[in-house]
């Protein structure tokens, strides 16, 4: 069953990063919010793994703007779209 992974930190402890990577499955989605949007500026293992598994990666538009970021690596979404996205997934994990 597909899961929406919601990340709000730019850095996690190494074991947590590892758990996140292991938990990703095809048909999942990732939402970057708050400081997690800073991951778009790095050569991030999470984004590489998502690409390898064909996982869609989203970022909250207002958080990207707050940090002065734009990125072609993710799809910027509004809070309304985030609400719709959460309704699409039966399982959610907040990291």
What average pLDDT is seen over the chain?
95
Residue 55 exposed, middle or buried by CB count within 10 Å (0-12, 13-18, 19+): buried
Q: Are 40 and 69 in contact (CB under 8 A)?
A: yes
3-94 is classed in which CATH architecture? 3-Layer(aba) Sandwich (3.40)
Tens of pLDDT, residue by residue over 28-68, are 999 999 999 999 998 789 999 999 999 999 999 999 999 99
pTM as predicted: 0.93
Segments making up each domain of the chain, as ranges: 3-94
């Amino acid at each position: 069953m597909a899961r929406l992974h919601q990340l709000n930190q730019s850095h996690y402890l190494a074991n947590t990063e590892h758990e996140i990577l292991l938990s990703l499955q095809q048909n999942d989605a990732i939402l970057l919010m708050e400081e997690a949007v800073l991951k778009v500026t790095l050569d991030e293992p999470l984004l590489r793994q998502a690409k390898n598994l064909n996982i869609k990666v989203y970022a909250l538009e207002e958080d990207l703007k707050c940090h002065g970021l734009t990125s072609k690596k993710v799809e910027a979404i509004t809070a309304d779209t985030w609400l719709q996205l959460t309704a699409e997934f039966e399982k959610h994990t907040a990291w």
